[in-house]
Amino acid sequence: MQKKSKQKLVVIGNGMAGIAAVENILALKGDLDITVFGAEPYVNYNRILLSDILSGKTHPEATYLNAREWYDKNGIRLFVDTKIMAIHPEVKTVQDDEGRMTPYDQLLIATGSHAFIPPIKGVEKRGVFPYRNMEDTERIIAYSKQCRRVAVIGGGLLGLEAGRALVQRGLNVTIFHLVDRLMELQLDDESGLILKKEIERLGMTVHLNHSAVEMIGEGSVEGVAFSNGKAYEADMVVISTGIRPNVELAKNAGIHTRRGIIVNDQMETSHSGIYAVGECVEHRGKTYGIVAPLYEQAKVAAHTILGKPSKTYEGSMVSATLKVAGIDLVSIGNYMGNGAGCESLVYSDRGISLYKKVVLQGNRVVGAILLGDIHDSGRFHQYIKNQTDVTLFRKTLLSGDADKKSAGPAILEDEDTICGCMGVNKKTIVEAIQEHEVTTRQGVGEKTKACTSCKSCGPLIDQILQEVLGGEYVPVTEKSGEFCPCFTLSRKELVDQIRSLKLKAVSEVLTRLGNGSGCAYCKPGLSYLLSEIWMERHREERNARFINDRVHANIQKDGTFSVVPRIYGGVTSPSELRRIADVAEKYHVPMVKITGGQRIDLLGVKKEELPLIWADLGMPSGHAYAKAIRTVKTCVGTEFCRFGVQDSTSLGIAMEKLFEGLYTPHKIKMAVSGCPRNCAESYVKDIGIVAIQTGWEIYVGGAAGMTVRKGDLLVAVKTDEEAFRAVTLFLQYYREEGYYLERTYDFVVRIGIEKIKQELLDPESARPAELMDHFKLAKEAVVDPWKTESEKPVHPYQFKELVADG
Amino acid sequence: MDKLFKAGKCQDIPLGEGRKYLIHGEEIGVFNLGIEIVAISNRCPHAGGPLSDGIVTGHEVICPLHGRKVNLKSGCVANEKEKVKVYEVVLKDGEIYLKC
C-alpha cells in the first residue's frame, strides 16, 4: 500500500460551480483528498430549475445533480448546512461555524452569490421574500397558499420566471420594474416592448418605471408603495432585483476583491494555492450570473489545481435564455450593438411577437436577440464562437436557409458546450448516442441530462443525432408521445390496447389501462377517442363528457345555456325564422343573436327547457356546443352575386348535410366562397373552399380566432364530386390522426401539408380507400341528439331541476 | 337546528354525475360517486359556476366554467380562499336525505 498522503483540496461551496470543478478533477483522474463545505442543507442541486419547483412542475429531489452516494463513491467528505466563517491563508486552514479547523493544501472558493435587496422600508415584514435559493423557493410556496395577489419586484430574467411560476400556481401577479424596459440587461427597446406584451398575454400585469420605497402593512405585508407616489395591494412580495457575489469571506482573508473575487486566466486568486470559480469571481472586470461560464471556469480551475495549467479561461460570451413556458427568448453576447463598427440586422413583427436581431462587427456576428423563434440560437452561437465570416450568406443570415448546412454541428468541437443549462458538451452527447443507442432528444436527456431544462438546445441535439445516426434518425415531435399523465402509455400504445382489449367505455379504459379516476382532460378525450375508434359504436358514459355534450347546449357564465339550431349554409326561410321567433317569445329567451358563422343563437335558456325548445323548433342540432362540424358559411355565389363564378351556396349546404353530426378532435368551421373575393372568409377556416374559374380550391388549417392563420392549399379540383372527396378525406384523416383538442391549424403544421397531400392524394396511397370506409361507417351511426333526447333523454333526470321535500 | 330534507332516490343521479337541488332557494349539488353520495353548495366561489354540471374525478368536481377543482369531501377549492359548504348526507332505504 502506498503510504504517501494525498494533497488536500477544500472546496467552499457545494453548488453547481464548485461541484463542476470537482467533477472535472475526477474526470482528469486527479487523486486528491477532497472536502466540500455547503452552507445550504442540500446536496448539489440545479439552481436553474428553481422556477420549475416554484411552479409545481417538479419537486426538489428531481433537481439534485449529485446524490449523497456520488460523494461517498468518490471519497469526498461533504459537510452540508455548514458555513465557513474564516479562511486563514497563513496557516492554510478554514474554520467553520462549529469552530472546527480544516487544513488544506489547495483551496477552491465557490461561494456563489446572494440576492441583492434594495433599501426598501419594511422589507423585513412577513410575506416579503427574496428569490434565490431552494429555501426561498420553499418558503414562497408555503406562504403563497394563503395569497391571491403577489407583487414581484424586478422584471429581470429571474423575476419574470418567478412571476410566471406563480401565475401557474393560480395567483394574480404584478411585475414592478425599476427602469423603462423589461430585462434591460438582455434586451433592446423593441424586444423589451414585445416581451412586455407577451408577459401580459401570460396573465401578468407589468408596471415599468416603478421604484419600490416601502412595504406597507402591519406585521404582514399588505401592499407596496413606490417613489412615484403610487401604491398597490399585495399579500405577498417576491424581490428579484439582481445578485451580488459573495466576497466577504475572501475579502476578510486579505484576498483581492472588487465586485467579485479577482482571478486570473488560470482561476487563481491573489493568494497562491487559493482558486475561485462561479458567480463569486470577477475575471477581466466581469462577473457572471448564468450557468455556462461557470462550467468553463470549473474546467480551467481543475486543470490548474492538478498542476496542468495548459488551459486558460479567457472570458465567456454571455448568453441568456428566458425559461418561461410560452415565451422563447435568447439573448447572446453584444446584443445592443454598442462598439466601433457594429451594425444591427433586425426583423421585427409585433403582430406575432417575433423579433430577430443579429449584431455584426465587420463580417463577424458578435451578438443576437431572438424572441418568438429561437431555432437559430445554436447557429448564432457557433458563428460567434468560431468567428465565422458571414459575408457570403449575409442576405439569408436572419432567415437562415442557405447556410444551415455549412454551420451544422460537425464544425463544433468535442469540447463545445451544447446544453448550457446542464453543461453537457458535444462529446458526451455523441458518446451517449453511440453507446446507449438512443435515437431521440428525450433519450439523450435521460442519459446525459442535456436538454432537460430550458430545451433551447433541442434543435442542436437533433442535428447531432442526425449527424451520428445518419439515415436511422427520425425526428420525433415533442408532444407526440403522451396522451395524459393519467396514463403511462403513449397515445399510440393506448389506441392499440383499446383495440386489442376491445374496450368500449371510458371507465373500462381508465381502470384497465390508466389510474382509475382520470381527469377533466382525459375523460372527454377518451370519450372522443373511443367514439372514433369504434366509429360511434362505443358505450357512451355521460359522466365522462363535458356538460355541453351531456345536454347538447353551450353553458354560459350564469349557468344557462345557448341554443343554435342548424341552418344549412346559413340559408333560412320566413317560416323557419317565424318559428324561431315564436320559440324565443314563448320561452322568454333573453337574447337572440346572429353568430359569426351565419346562425341564430338563442342565449340564456334554462337547462330544464332545452328539450321543450328543441321539440318546438323542430330543427336539427347546430352542434355549436360540441367538438364537431359546426357551420359551413357560404356567400350567395352565382345565385345572385354578379361576381360569383361557382354555386357556393349549394355546395356549402350539401357539404353541411354530408358532414353534419360527425364529431372531431376539436371544432371544425367551414366556408365556401363563390369567388376569390372570399366573402365567406374561406382562407381562415379549418376547411375553406374557394371558387376559381376552373373549379374549386380547398384550403385546410386556417384560423381567425386566438390564432390567425391562412389555410394551406390542399388541392385544386374541377368538379363538386372531387371537392366532396378531398374534403371528406381530410376530415376523416383529422378525425383519426388529430390529438384531442388539437385544432386543424396545429394539426396541419404538426403533420405537414406535404405529408397530408401525399397520404390523401397520392394515387399509390392506400389510405384514401380506408378513410372512405371509416367515414361511411361513422356517418351511418350519426343521430341528431336534439331529436332523440327531446323524446327520450339518456337519463330521466338529465335535464330536470330537482326539488327536495322538507 | 338542522333539518332532514328528502332528496329523491340514489338512482335519480346518474353514476359519476351531479344534480342540482333547490332547498328553500338554496342551490345544493348532490353527487353520486358510486360508493357514496355527497352534497355541497352548488356555486363555485370563483365565479358562481354550477358545480353539479362539472366533471367528477375521484373526490373532486371540476367547475364547468373555469376549471376550478373543488374537493367534494372538504369543500376546499384549489386557488381560492373560500370553501364551499359541505352538507351531510343520510341514506335510508335508497333515499337521499340532506341535513341542512
**Nearest partner of A567 among A603, A617, A615, judged by Cα:** A617
Which tops the pLDDT comparison, A470 or A397?
Answer: A397
Shortest Cα–Cα distance, B95 to chain A (Å): 11
Q: How far apart are alpha carbons A528 and A627 in whole angstroms? A: 9
Among A523-532, A552-561, B73-82, the range scoring the smallest mean pLDDT is: B73-82
**Contact list, B55 vs chain A (CB under 8 Å):** 520, 523-524, 543-547
**Residue A183: pLDDT above 60?**
yes
Residue B63 contacts A, CB cutoff 8 Å: no
Q: Which of A727, A717, A726, A672 is nearest to A697 (CA)?
A: A717
CATH (residue range A409-473): 1.10.10.1100
Domain count, chain B: 1
Confidence of residue A161 (pLDDT cuts 50, 70, 90): very high
Fold of A627-783: Sulfite Reductase Hemoprotein; domain 1 (3.30.413)
Q: Flag whether residue B47 sits within 8 Å of chain A, measured between CB atoms.
A: yes
CB A293 within 8 A of CB A317: no
Residue A471 has pLDDT above 80, yes or no: no
The SS3 of residue B22 is strand
B18 vs A: CB within 8 A = no
Q: How far is CA A222 from the centre of its chain?
A: 32
B48/A544 CB distance under 8 A: no
Residue type, A732: Q
Cα separation, B4 vs A234, whole angstroms: 43
Q: What Rg do the C-alpha atoms of chain B give, in angstroms?
A: 13
What pLDDT shows up at residue A455?
A: 65
Q: Which residue has the higher pLDDT, A98 or A267?
A: A267
Question: Which of A340, A318, A342 has its CA nearest to residue A331?
Answer: A318
Residues in chain B closer than 8 A to A547 (CB atoms): 53-55, 64
Note whether A475 and A462 are within 8 A (CB): yes
Q: Is A4 on the interface with B (CB under 8 A)?
A: no
- Shortest distance between the Cα of B25 and any Cα of chain A, in A, equals 10
Chain B nearest CA to A805, separation (Å): 5
* DSSP secondary structure code for residue A502 in this structure: T
Contact B62 A520 (CB under 8 A): yes
pLDDT, average across residues A327-349: 88
Question: Which of helix, strand or coil describes residue A401?
Answer: coil
Give the model's confidence band at A804: pLDDT under 50 very low, under 70 low, under 90 confident, else very high.
confident
A–B CB contacts, 8 A cutoff, strictly below: 88
Q: Does A546 touch chain B (CB under 8 A)?
A: yes
Which superfamily, per CATH, for A7-113+245-305?
Answer: FAD/NAD(P)-binding domain (3.50.50.60)
Give the model confidence (pLDDT) of A475-516 as tens digits.
554 344 568 878 888 888 899 999 999 999 999 999 888 888
Q: So where are chain A's domains?
A: 7-113+245-305, 117-241, 409-473, 491-545, 627-783
CA proximity to A403, closest of A414, A388, A416: A388
Give the separation between CA A606 and CA A96, rounded to whole angstroms.
72
Cβ contact, residue pair B55, A559, below 8 Å: no
Assign A316 a pLDDT band (cuts: 50, 70, 90). confident
**Distance (Å) from the alpha carbon of A11 to chain B's nearest alpha carbon:** 43
Q: Residue A454: its pLDDT value, please? A: 64
B90 near A CB under 8 A = no
Query: CA of B50, closest CA in chain A: separation in Å?
Result: 6
What confidence tier does A577 reach under pLDDT thresholds 50, 70, 90? very high
Task: Give me the helices (H) in A489-546, please.
Answer: 491-501, 506-513, 522-533
**In angstroms, what separates the C-alpha of B91 from chain A's closest C-alpha?**
14
The residue-averaged pLDDT of A38-52 equals: 88
User: Which has the closest alpha carbon to A358: A322, A388, A334?
Assistant: A334
Which among A150, A797, A798 is the top mutation candidate for probing chain B, defined by the most B β-carbons within 10 Å of its own β-carbon?
Answer: A797
Query: Do the Cβ atoms of B23 and A547 come within 8 Å?
Result: no
Distance from CA of B9 to the nearest CA of A (A): 11
Task: Please report residues of B whose CB lies closer than 8 A to that of A539.
Answer: none
Q: Distance between CA A505 and CA A499 in Å, rounded?
A: 12
Span A322-340, mean pLDDT? Answer: 85
| Range with lowest mean pLDDT among A218-222, A264-268, A339-343, A688-692 | A339-343
Task: Report the C-alpha gap between B60 and A442 in whole angstroms.
Answer: 33
Residue A464: per-residue pLDDT? 84
B8/A557 touch (CB, cutoff 8 Å), yes or no:
no
B81 contact A CB<8A: yes
Looking up residue B66, the CATH number of its domain turns out to be: 2.102.10.10
Q: Which of A497, A508, A511, A504 is nearest to A540 (CA)?
A: A504
Domain that holds residue B84: 4-99
Residue B33 touches chain A, beta carbons under 8 Å: no
Does the beta-carbon distance from B14 to A543 stay under 8 Å?
Answer: yes
Closest-CA residue of B relative to A802 is B21
Distance of CA A662 to the CA centre of its chain: 32
Predicted confidence (pLDDT) per residue in A200-254, tens digit: 988 899 999 999 999 999 989 999 999 999 999 999 999 999 999 999 999 999 9
> Reduced to 3 states, what is the DSSP secondary structure of residue A746?
helix
- pLDDT value, residue A406: 41
pLDDT above 90 covers a percentage of chain A that reads 66
The answer to whether A676 and A637 are in contact (CB under 8 A) is no
Is it the case that residue A2 has pLDDT exceeding 50? no
Whether the per-residue pLDDT at A614 is higher than 90: the answer is yes
User: Alpha-carbon distance B50 to B65, whole Å?
Assistant: 8
Confidence of residue A400 (pLDDT cuts 50, 70, 90): low
Q: What's the gap in Å between the CA of A729 and the closest CA on chain B?
A: 33
Q: Which of A170, A541, A797 sits opposite B12 (nearest CB)?
A: A797
CB under 8 Å to A556, separation ≥6 — which residues? A562, A603, A604
Q: What cell does A379 get?
A: 447557429
Residue type, A385: K
Residue of A55, A146, A173, A802 to mutate when probing chain B, most B C-beta within 10 A: A802
Q: What is the mean pLDDT of residues A311-322?
A: 86
Q: Give the CA angle between residues A423, A244, A368 to the nearest 5°.
A: 50
Question: What pLDDT sits at residue A445?
Answer: 82
- Cβ atoms A283, A309 nearer than 8 A: no
What pLDDT is recorded for position A709? 92
Question: pLDDT tier at A405 (50, 70, 90 boundaries)?
Answer: very low
DSSP A383-397: HHHHT---GGGGGGT
Question: Which residues in chain B are closer than 8 Å to A802, comparing Cβ atoms?
Answer: 7-8, 12, 19-22, 30
Cell numbers given for A203: 396573465
Of A319-323, A669-673, B86-90, the poorest mean pLDDT is in A319-323
Question: Which of A146, A543, A800 is nearest residue B17 as measured by Cβ atoms?
Answer: A543
C-alpha to C-alpha distance for A736 and A734, rounded to whole angstroms: 5
CB contact under 8 A, B64 and A558: no
By mean pLDDT, which of A236-245, A412-421, A562-571, B30-39 is the weakest? A412-421
User: Sheet harboring B60-62: ordered strands across?
Assistant: B55-57, B60-62, B69-71
What single-letter amino acid sits at B82?
A: E
User: A3-12, A727-736, B44-53 — which is least confidently predicted?
Assistant: A3-12
Residue type, A95: Q
Domain covering A117-241: architecture: 3-Layer(bba) Sandwich (3.50)
Is the predicted pLDDT of residue A407 greater than 50, yes or no?
no
Residue recorded with cell 441535439: A461
**Over residues A316-322, mean pLDDT:** 84
Q: By percentage, how much of chain A surpasses pLDDT 70?
A: 95
Average pLDDT, chain A: 89
β-strands B37-41, B86-92: how paired?
antiparallel
